[in-house]
Structure 1
Amino acid sequence: MAKRPNVIVFFTDQQRFDTTGVHGNPMGLTPNFDRIAQMGTHVANAFACQPLCGPSRAALQTGRYATATGVFRNEIPLDPQLPTLGRVFLENGYRTGYIGKWHLAGQDPVPEGLRGGYEDWLAANHLEFVSDAYDTRLTDNDGVEHRLPGYRVDAMTDAAIRYIDVHKEEPFLLFLSFLEPHHQNNTDDYPAPTGYREELQKRLWVPADLQALQGTSSWHLAGYYGMVKRLDEAFGRLLDALKSLGLEDDTVVLFTSDHGCHFKTRNDEYKRSCHEASIRVPMAFTGPGFDSGGRVRALVNTTDVAPTLIDAAGLVVPETMQGRSILPLLRDPKSDWRQESFVQISETETGRAIRTERWKYAVTAPYDAAQSEAAEYEEFALYDLDSDPFELTNLIGMPAFSEITADLRARLLNWISEIEGGSPRILAHAERHQRQHRLSALDLLQDYRNGQVGRGHGGA
C-alpha cells in the first residue's frame, strides 16, 4: 500500500499577491515561493472569500463561506461541530499539529474543544497581542506558555522542523500559521528582522495602487517587504528540512495567505475591502499530485483549500464543504469551474462582491456587528481589471457599462441566494456624467482626496 502523503500548510497573514516574483515583484523577495510555483502548481488567481483574519481562517479550515460558518467577523469562535481540515485528517489516522496564530477561539489560551481537530498544539489565538517580533509566546496542549528564541518567523519555523522530525515516521498534517507580514498591533508597525527594512528601503518597488493612493505605504512598505523576505527564507528552510529527512517526495506543501493588505488606501484599515490588494493572495502547491502541475488560471478561493488538501491525501471530502478540490483542474484545465469568486466583507461595511476574469463588481451596506447580512445593498464599485488592474478607475453608474453592471448584479444575487439563502435588494448607483475611461495620476489623486475614488461616487 502506498504511503499516505504528509501535508504541510505554510500560512502567512496579510500578504499581498504581488509581493512574489511570479506576480511581477522585481525585488527578489520570494525565490523559494517562485521556485515551487514554477516547478509545482501555481494558483495564479487565488482569492480570500472574506478579507479578514477570523472569517478567512474559518473558511479555510471548514471549506465554507463566512456566513455558513457563522464566523462573519473577528472574535466569533468556530463551531466545534463543523467538519474541519484538522478533524478530517485526525479521523483518518493522521497526526495533526498546529503551530502559530489561530484566531478562531475568542480567548487565550485556546481550550482543547476549540482547536479545530488539531491534537498537537503550540499556538495562540491572538498571536499579535501575546507576542512581538523578537518575543514569541505560544501555549502548548496543557496550557503552558513557551517563549521561543529568535525572530518570530524563525522561532516558529524551528518548532515546525522539530515537529516534522519527531513525526516523520507517521503521516501528519502540520498547519504552520505565521503572523507576518501582518502589522504588530500595539505599535501599528511592520517589524522586519534587524537591518532588513533599511536595506530594502534603498531599492523599494511600489505597486501602482500604492503609488497613486499611498496610504501608510510610504513608511510601512519596506518593513512589510522585510517580513515577506524572511518568511520566504523560512519557507526555504522548511523545504530543505523535508529534503534532508527524505520526505520531499512524500509531502504536499501549500503556501498561501489569509488575505492581502492595501495599507489604508481603501478604508481606515489594512484589508476589509473588495479590492485586489485586499482579497488576492499568493498560492502554490508542491509535492505528490502537484509537481509539474503548471499554472492554474481558474478563480480559486479560500473555501477550496480544505477540499483540495483532503482530496490530495486520498480522503473523502465532507459534503458540508462548499469549496471544491482543484485537482480536476490539474488534469484538465477546461474542467467545469466557477466563473466568479464570491466575496463577503464585514467590520468596515457589510459588503458583497464578485470577481470574474475581467470584472470586479461590489455592493455595500452599513456595518452591523450583530448581522452577517443586509436586506438592502447599494452599488459601490465596478472595475475593468483588463484595462485597470490596480482598480484606480471606478466605472459604477456610467451608462456605457449599464448592461455589464446589470449582468454582474444578477450574478452576484445568484451567489448570495446560493451561499446565504437570501434575496436582498440591490439599489442601482445613480447615473454619473460620462468621462474618459482613464484618468491622469494627478486627477485620480485629487478625486481620492475629495473622497470620491473607491467609494463609488467618482474617479472614472
Structure 2
Amino acid sequence: MNQRRPNLIYLFADQWRRQAAGYAKEDPVYTPNIDQFALESMTFPQAVTCNPLCSPHRASLLTGKYPMSTGVYTNCKVGADVMLKPEERCISDVLKESGYATGYIGKWHLDLPELQYQSQPESGASGWDAYTPPGPKRHGFDEWYSYGAWDDHLSPHYWQDSPEKIKPNQWSVEHETDKAIEFINSRNPDEPFALFVSWNPPHSPFDQVPKQYKDVYKQQSLPLRKNVTSDSFKVHTGEEVGGGLEELQENQKNYFAAITGIDENFGRILDVLRELQLEEDTIIVLTSDHGEMMGSHGLMAKHVWYEESIGIPFLIRWPGKIPAIATDSLLNTVDIMPTLLTLLGLPVPSQVEGTDLSPILKGEKKELVNQSYLCAYPGRKEAIEQFRQSGMDNRAYGWRGIRTKNYMYVVHKGYSPRKKTVRMLYDLEKDPYQLEPEVIEIPHSHVIAQKLEEKLALWLNRTNDPFNINNEVKNI
C-alpha cells in the first residue's frame, strides 16, 4: 500500500561506539544483521554526537538544538535540576501534529528524577529514574513504554500510562524489541507511524548480558585498541575506576556481546518489516547516543573528545530513495531532526540549529557542512557546588571542540575552577588513534588552529555559550 508519507523507525543504543560494528572493520564484533543493513544503507563513518553524554544528546536529537539552547547540558539527575522542557518543540511533536501514530520504547532520561522533588514517589522510581506521565513532557509520543534512567539490563522495569511499574523478567533489549514488534503489528495501516526505540545496552554494567551472547566471545582472545596504553583506568574527571587489563578484556568481551545481542534483535525487526512488506515504505535509522572509551587513553565511559567517545554509528535505509553508500560527509546530533523531517516532507521548526542533510541523502550534494561542533560541561553535583561557591558558572567550563574530516581541535578548561585552559589539535588522518596531540600555546600563530579557533568562537557566540576562549582561565 502506498502511504502519503513513509514510516520512520529510529533505533538507538546507549554507549555504542562507532568502531564497534563488523562493517566498520575496527573492533572485532560479530554483527551480521547490521553488516548486511550497512550494505543496504547510507552510512556515516564521520558521524559524531554533539555532547558525548546521554541526556544532552537525547535533547539535541529531539529538538535539533545544541545543549546550551535546550538547557540539558548534563544528565537529568538528582542535584542538577535539568530536564527537557515541556515547551520545547520536538521531532515527535511535529510527527504527531502531522498525522503520524507515534511510539517511544525504552530509556528516556529526559525527565527530572522524581527523587529531586519527592522522597517517596508513587511510581517507586529511585536514583535518577522517573515515571513520565501522559502530557506535554512526552512530546507527542502516544504509545509509551519507557523509564527514565535505570541500568538493570537483565531485570528492567517500565511505565506506561500509570505509576504502576511493569517488571518483565527479560533482557531489556529483547523485551523492548518484542514491544516494538507489537507496535508495528498493531499499527493502523491507513496512517504512517513513527517509532523510537532506545536500547540501554551496551551501556555498563557490561556483565548484564545473556549467556548466549557472552558465549560468542568466551573462547576468543580479543586484541585491545592500539591506544589502550595503560593498565589502570579513570573516568573523565580523574577518578580511578579500578580493575586492570584482565578486567578490561572481560569488560570488552561483554560489551561486544551486548552489541551482538542488539544485532540479533535488530534482525528481528527487519524480518517483521519484510514479512509485512513495509520495507519500501519505511525509513530506518540505526545509531547511538555516544561511544565508550573501553580503556583507550586510560579512560572508561565517555564525556571526552576522543573518537571512541564522540563517534557514533549512523546508518539510514530507505530503499529506492537513499543510495546505499558510505559518505564521508560529517553528521552531528543536531542535524538529525531537520534531516528526518525534510525527508518525511514535514516542516522544520524555526528554532532548529542543526543542518538539513537531506540533499546528501538524496544524492543531490556531497557535502553541506565541513565542521561539527562539540561540547561538554561539568555536571557532577560536587563540581556544580564548587563552581557556585566560587561565584562561577559551571557551564563556562568543561571543553568545547570542532571536528572536521581531518582534524579535532579542543579547548579544555577542566571540570573544576582550578584548572587552566589547554588547547589541543589532533591530525586524524596522520594520527587516527589520537596519540600525538599538538598542544597549541598561541592559536593565532598556527595556521590550522587559528581557523578552527575562529570558527569555534563564532559558534560559541551564536549559541550564547558562556565558555570564553579569548581569555585564559586564571588559577585561583
Which interval holds the TM-score relative to the shorter structure? 0.7 to 0.9
> Match of 1:361?
409
Answer yes or no: is the 8 Å Cα contact 2:64–2:335 preserved in 1. Answer: yes
Partner Cα distance (1:377, 1:168) in 2: 58
Matched residue SS, 1:248? coil
The number of aligned residues is 416
TM-aligned CA distance change 1:412 to 1:384, over 3 Å: same
Residue 177 of structure 2 is aligned to residue 157 of structure 1: yes
Partner Cα distance (1:163, 1:140) in 2: 14
Answer yes or no: is the 8 Å Cα contact 1:25–1:205 preserved in 2. Answer: no
Amino acid at match of 1:29: Y
> Match of 2:454?
410
> Match of 2:50?
49
Q: Percent identity?
A: 30
Answer yes or no: is the 8 Å Cα contact 2:229–2:296 preserved in 1. Answer: no
TM-aligned CA distance change 1:248 to 1:332, over 3 Å: closer
> Match of 1:123?
146
Residue 107 of structure 2 is aligned to residue 101 of structure 1: yes
Amino acid at match of 1:147: K
Moved more, 259-268 or 3-12: 259-268
- The structure 2 residue matched to 1:193, chosen from 207, 210, 214, is 210
> Match of 1:110?
132
1:136 deviation in Å?
2.2
Partner Cα distance (1:322, 1:207) in 2: 38
Q: Deviations over 1:429-457 (max 9, x none)?
A: 9xxxxxxxxxxxxxxxxxxxxxxxxxxxx
Matched residue SS, 1:157? helix
> Match of 1:282?
313
- The structure 1 residue matched to 2:155, chosen from 100, 121, 135, is 135
1:207 deviation in Å?
4.9
Moved more, 206-215 or 148-157: 206-215
TM-aligned CA distance change 1:251 to 1:392, over 3 Å: same
1:431-442 correspondence to structure 2 within 5 Å:
none
Moved more, 380-389 or 65-74: 380-389
Matched residue SS, 1:156? helix
1:409 deviation in Å?
1.5
Moved more, 138-147 or 119-128: 138-147
Gaps of 5+ in 2: 77-81, 114-129, 234-242, 380-396
Residue 438 of structure 2 is aligned to residue 395 of structure 1: yes
- The structure 1 residue matched to 2:423, chosen from 377, 380, 402, is 380
Q: Deviations over 1:128-183 (max 9, x none)?
A: 2xxx2221211002233222342221111001100110015131111000101000
Residue 172 of structure 2 is aligned to residue 171 of structure 1: no
Moved more, 406-415 or 57-66: 406-415
Partner Cα distance (1:414, 1:220) in 2: 41
> Match of 1:90?
96
> Match of 1:146?
166
> Match of 2:279?
248
Residue 67 of structure 2 is aligned to residue 61 of structure 1: no
Q: Deviations over 1:84-118 (max 9, x none)?
A: 01101001011111000000002311133322221
- The structure 2 residue matched to 1:234, chosen from 238, 259, 265, is 265
Answer yes or no: is the 8 Å Cα contact 1:303–1:323 preserved in 2. Answer: yes
Answer yes or no: is the 8 Å Cα contact 1:379–1:427 preserved in 2. Answer: no
Matched residue SS, 2:139? coil
Partner Cα distance (1:157, 1:205) in 2: 29
Partner Cα distance (2:29, 2:295) in 1: 25
Moved more, 161-170 or 30-39: 30-39
TM-aligned CA distance change 1:265 to 1:335, over 3 Å: closer
Q: Deviations over 1:184-211 (max 9, x none)?
A: 3xxxx44221143354143344453453
1:421 deviation in Å?
5.7
1:60 deviation in Å?
0.4
Partner Cα distance (1:149, 1:403) in 2: 58
Moved more, 154-163 or 403-412: 403-412
Partner Cα distance (2:158, 2:360) in 1: 38
Gaps of 5+ in 1: 369-373, 430-460
Instruction: Report the RMSD for the aligned CA atoms in angstroms.
Output: 2.5
Task: Give the TM-score normalised by structure 2.
Answer: 0.81
1:323 deviation in Å?
1.3
1:254 deviation in Å?
0.3
1:333 deviation in Å?
6.1
TM-aligned CA distance change 1:66 to 1:206, over 3 Å: farther
Structure number with higher strand proportion: 1
Partner Cα distance (1:89, 1:205) in 2: 44
1:22 deviation in Å?
2.2
Task: Give the TM-score normalised by structure 1.
Answer: 0.84
1:389 deviation in Å?
0.6
1:339 deviation in Å?
1.4
Residue 102 of structure 2 is aligned to residue 81 of structure 1: no
TM-aligned CA distance change 1:82 to 1:399, over 3 Å: closer
TM-aligned CA distance change 1:421 to 1:17, over 3 Å: closer
Answer yes or no: is the 8 Å Cα contact 2:68–2:465 preserved in 1. Answer: no
TM-aligned CA distance change 1:49 to 1:146, over 3 Å: same
Answer yes or no: is the 8 Å Cα contact 2:15–2:291 preserved in 1. Answer: yes
Partner Cα distance (1:171, 1:377) in 2: 53
Partner Cα distance (2:253, 2:295) in 1: 16
TM-aligned CA distance change 1:344 to 1:133, over 3 Å: same
